[in-house]
Amino acid sequence: MATATAESSLSTVQGDGHKRKKNALSDGQGRLAWMLLAPTLLVILVVAGIPVAMSIRESFFLSNTGVDPSTGLIASGEKFVGLQNFAAIFSDQDLVRGNWGSIGRFFNAFWNTTAITVVCVIAETIIGVAMALIMAKAFRGKGLVRAGILVPWAIPTIVSALMWKLIFDANGVMNKILGTQILWLADNVPAFWAVFIADVWKTAPFIGLLTLAGLQTIPAEVYEAAKVDGATTWQQFVRITLPMVRPTLVVAVLFRTLDTLRMFDLPYGMVGPGKYHVETLSIFSYLEATQSRYGPAAAYAIILFLYVLLIAFLFVRILGADLISDPDLKKTKKKKKTDGDASDAASPTALEMAGGAH
Amino acid sequence: MSTTASEARTESHLSADEIAALAHPKPSPKARIGLIASYVGMAVIVLYCIVPFYWMVVSSLRLPTEGLSTELIPRPASTENYVAVFGPGNNFGRSLVNSVIVSGTTTILTLLFGIVAAYALARLKFRGKGGVLWLIMACSMFPLVVLLPPLLKMFSSTEPFTWFPYWINTYQSVILPGLSFGLPLAVWNLTAFFKQLPVELEQAAMVDGCTPGVAFRKVILPLAAPGVVTTAIIVFIGSWNEFLLALTFLQDPSRQTATVAISKFTGSTGFDTPYGTIMAAGVLVTVPLLIAVLIFQRRIVAGLTAGGVK
């Protein structure tokens, strides 16, 4: 339906619109919509589209180094090197010792990024869902809890990094509580877990908030019916809560996953740059770029970008993360599929969650 | 169900006391345990969120020489760290001003562009809407570090960008790339808010002879003001907390934003990390945000759940 209206509004002159006007709100909208969207799309093109394209180009180039034999001056400019920046990832020239034994620095950063994302997102999801369940049950004091839960979110990540740096200091309070003498922030395995704890602290409440919004869309009648049928609390959780909160949770987990994949501030602030046990792809690429090794930096950033795209794609395809959730679009999609997908329409989604939270 | 039951009893002439007793049934032991458990759970959540922050506040109130003390309450309490933050070596006051300029400009630009775009996405039907939504979503997802190599090269006028003005240490070098995450965030939030307003409002306005543009300006915009404020706060906080762009492009201490300045604090005394000063600065940077968040907490939670938060 939406397609048809758009087509007619594009093909007809706006003047004769009142003759066959079915819906005052959907006439001549195509042109107006694009006019309203033009500034935003232009800005996105300039500040994101073009730089990303430039970054892709950059990844095939390498800055000239050394002395230019023809002029005797220090070489400047750059040369096209094809896939050399990508191929260099597999060379054994830049071996480092991190969590994964002696491997190339890129792969070290890649596996660090992957590992921290997996462990953080799993822990955040479990803690976040637990928080949401507790908050959903609460009778009084919801405002207080909500205020508290926003504290970790509002603290700038770099400030929270320095805060945890103090807590994890060798002479700090964490060692005192645990009664240990661990050097948390040296370039070692405990540093990885220190970063893990700091990230989970900051972002689990966020998953809790999103999940709570999803929980509040579940009608109480469903639970009452389950109780009448004699379902235990655990059965209610597994059979009702989880399936019904799943669309919300999948979107929340997707956001967290993509965010953790580009982690920079926490390891940089807590442990420092060039520490191989916590070096993520973002940090590695940043360090390369600031040392004027633009080509390799771009290559690593592009790989990270593709990695992020792949994960997002898998979430949408396999887990059915509904990010867009526009009812108009759903209608057209359904028309194309010829028969409707009932579960698709029933699920609360990212955009609709905003309404549910009020 | 319970209401129908009590109504039925009301008809069979129960005394007022009995009705009151039915309205507030005595909790069974099991329900009471559940209630206690939920309070304990909530206390655990609040402690989880607050305790590390409490540690930051407490550490900022110690004597500068006792930065690593593990006393729960600072003895003696001291505001010396807060004085030291504004010491000449740190440039902290200046960095706060820089942060306000950068975040403020980013927020205003984002809203200017975002409001009209969000209105189109929330209300109008047009071909290519799905594509636009995906584009904006994709824009909020990509890693910021992708922008660094070409922009660093460009802003520092390195070959082949010798034609480009030298933009390192300028505000625009952080504001413009910052739009790439601020704008999708704003569009996403505002679209959700506009969608909550009933379409009938504009329809009524249009029946009264308004064009869609006028209906938007005179009817929708005033009603969406709370949503706009919330979005402004969320974008402002996101921009205020931004670190990677500022770290890369703002190298001159007099141009650094607060987040970068804090990360570069060095002690005036010896080689120890000046934890007390850093924590004091951290508290100063965080408290304005916390106040805004606490005032607008309901709306911010609603805005956050609209998705796309970096």
Radius of gyration of chain A from its Cα atoms, rounded to whole angstroms: 26
Nearest-CB residue to B120 (from A36, A139, A351): A36
pLDDT at position A131: 92
pLDDT at position B248: 94
**Residue of chain A whose alpha carbon sits nearest to that of B234:** A154
| Interatomic CA distance for residues A107 and A84, integer angstroms | 16
Please indicate whether, in this complex, the C-beta atoms of A37 and B199 are within 8 angstroms of each other.
Answer: no
| Interatomic CA distance for residues A284 and B229, integer angstroms | 37
Tell me how crowded residue B198 is: count the other CB atoms within 10 A of its CB: 10
* A351 vs B contacts (CB less than 8 Å): 188, 191-192, 195, 306-307
A328 residue type, one letter? D
- Closest of B119, B287, B84 to residue B189, by C-alpha: B119
Distance from the B16 Cα atom to the nearest Cα atom in chain A, whole angstroms: 26
A113 burial type by CB count under 10 A (0-12 exposed, 13-18 middle, 19+ buried): buried
Give A234-276 pLDDT, tens digit per residue.
899 999 999 989 888 998 899 899 999 999 999 999 999 989 9
Q: Which of B146, B214, B251, B277 to mutate to test the interface with A (most CBs of A within 10 A)?
A: B146
Nearest-CB residue to A54 (from B50, B150, B297): B150
Write out B73-102 in H/E/C secondary structure. Answer: CCCCCCCHHHHHHCCCCCCHHHHHHHHHHH
pLDDT at position A357: 29
- Closest of A39, A63, A164, A28 to residue B156, by C-alpha: A63
| Interatomic CA distance for residues A115 and B89, integer angstroms | 39
Please indicate whether, in this complex, the C-beta atoms of B114 and A43 are within 8 angstroms of each other.
Answer: no
- Bridge partners, B143 (sequence order): none
A196 burial type by CB count under 10 A (0-12 exposed, 13-18 middle, 19+ buried): middle
Nearest-CB residue to A350 (from B128, B294, B307): B307
Please indicate whether, in this complex, the C-beta atoms of A148 and B49 are within 8 angstroms of each other.
Answer: yes
DSSP H or E run through A96: strand A95-98
Residue A321: pLDDT over 50: yes
Please indicate whether, in this complex, the C-beta atoms of B38 and A139 are within 8 angstroms of each other.
Answer: yes
**Residue of chain B whose alpha carbon sits nearest to that of A49:** B139
The percentage of chain A sitting over the pLDDT mark of 90, rounded to a whole number, equals: 44
Q: Which of A3, A8, A29, A44 to mutate to test the interface with B (most CBs of B within 10 A)?
A: A44
Instruction: State the number of CA atoms in the 13 A half-sphere of B223 facing the CB.
Output: 16
- Under the banding of pLDDT at 50, 70 and 90, the label for residue A358 is very low
Distance from the A105 Cα atom to the nearest Cα atom in chain B, whole angstroms: 17
pLDDT at position B286: 93
Nearest-CB residue to A51 (from B150, B247, B304): B150
pLDDT tens, N- to C-terminus, chain B (310 residues): 444 444 444 455 667 777 776 666 666 777 788 888 888 889 999 999 999 999 999 999 988 888 788 888 888 888 888 998 888 878 899 999 999 999 999 999 999 999 999 989 988 888 888 899 888 888 888 899 999 999 999 999 887 888 899 999 999 999 999 999 899 989 988 988 888 888 888 888 888 888 877 888 888 888 888 889 989 999 999 999 999 999 999 999 899 999 999 998 875 555 567 888 899 999 999 999 999 888 888 888 777 776 543 3
Tell me how crowded residue A337 is: count the other CB atoms within 10 A of its CB: 10
| Interatomic CA distance for residues A253 and A245, integer angstroms | 12
* A150 vs B contacts (CB less than 8 Å): 290, 293-294, 297, 300-301
**Residue of chain B whose alpha carbon sits nearest to that of A6:** B126
Scan for tokens 């762009």, then name that residue. Answer: B245
Nearest-CB residue to A157 (from B119, B147, B243): B243
Distance from the A132 Cα atom to the nearest Cα atom in chain B, whole angstroms: 10
DSSP string, chain B: -HHHHHHHHHHT---HHHHHHHHSPPPPHHHHHHHHHHHHHHHHHHHHHHHHHHHHHHHHTS-GGGTT---SS-SS---HHHHHHTSTTT-HHHHHHHHHHHHHHHHHHHHHHHHHHHHHHHH---TTHHHHHHHHHHHHHS-GGGGHHHHHHHHTT-TT-TTS---TT-THHHHHHHHHHHHHHHHHHHHHHHHHS-THHHHHHHHTT--HHHHIIIIIHHHTHHHHHHHHHHHHHHHHT--HHHHHH--SGGG--HHHHHHT---SSSSS--HHHHHHHHHHHHHHHHHHHHHTHHHHHHHHTTS---
Nearest-CB residue to B148 (from A2, A76, A286): A286
Question: pTM for the full model?
Answer: 0.84
Give A276-305 pLDDT, tens digit per residue.
999 999 999 999 999 988 999 999 999 999
Please indicate whether, in this complex, the C-beta atoms of A251 and B193 are within 8 angstroms of each other.
Answer: no
* A46 vs B contacts (CB less than 8 Å): 176
pLDDT at position A336: 44
For residue B202 the two structure tokens come to 């504009």
**Can you tell me the mean pLDDT for A27-52?**
88
pLDDT at position A356: 29
For residue B151 the two structure tokens come to 């922009």
Give A104-141 pLDDT, tens digit per residue.
999 999 999 999 999 999 999 999 999 999 988 877 77
Please indicate whether, in this complex, the C-beta atoms of B149 and A32 are within 8 angstroms of each other.
Answer: no
Nearest-CB residue to B46 (from A139, A144, A167): A144
| Interatomic CA distance for residues B193 and A128, integer angstroms | 25
Residue A194: pLDDT over 90: yes
| Interatomic CA distance for residues A322 and A342, integer angstroms | 14
**Can you tell me the mean pLDDT for A90-103?**
84
**Can you tell me the mean pLDDT for A70-75?**
67
**Residue of chain A whose alpha carbon sits nearest to that of B39:** A138
DSSP H or E run through A37: helix A29-44
For residue A183 the two structure tokens come to 């050097």
Whether the Cβ atoms of residue B149 and residue A298 lie closer than 8 Å to each other = yes
Q: Which long-range contacts (CB under 8 A, 24 or more apart) does A74-79 make?
A: A76/B159, A77/B159, A77/B160, A78/A294, A78/A295, A78/B159, A78/B160
Rounded (10°) CA dihedral B126, B129, B130, B135: 160
Residues comprising chain A, all counted: 358
* B215 vs A contacts (CB less than 8 Å): none
**Residue of chain B whose alpha carbon sits nearest to that of A148:** B46
pLDDT at position A41: 94
Give A140-190 pLDDT, tens digit per residue.
777 888 888 889 999 999 999 999 999 999 888 999 999 988 899 888 999
Please indicate whether, in this complex, the C-beta atoms of A43 and B179 are within 8 angstroms of each other.
Answer: yes
Whether the Cβ atoms of residue B246 and residue B257 lie closer than 8 Å to each other = yes
End-to-end CA distance of chain A: 30
Distance from the B211 Cα atom to the nearest Cα atom in chain A, whole angstroms: 10
| Interatomic CA distance for residues B197 and A316, integer angstroms | 28
| CA A150 remoteness from chain centre | 19
Please indicate whether, in this complex, the C-beta atoms of B116 and A40 are within 8 angstroms of each other.
Answer: yes
pLDDT at position A330: 56
- Closest of A36, A138, A327 to residue B114, by C-alpha: A36
* B56 vs A contacts (CB less than 8 Å): 159, 163, 166
- Bridge partners, A67 (sequence order): A74
pLDDT at position B108: 96
**Residue of chain B whose alpha carbon sits nearest to that of A355:** B196
Residue A21: pLDDT over 70: no
Please indicate whether, in this complex, the C-beta atoms of B243 and A152 are within 8 angstroms of each other.
Answer: no
Nearest-CB residue to B300 (from A3, A57, A150): A150
Scan for tokens 């997908």, then name that residue. Answer: A341
Please indicate whether, in this complex, the C-beta atoms of A150 and B301 are within 8 angstroms of each other.
Answer: yes
pLDDT at position B15: 73
Distance from the A312 Cα atom to the nearest Cα atom in chain B, whole angstroms: 9
pLDDT at position A201: 96
pLDDT at position B13: 66
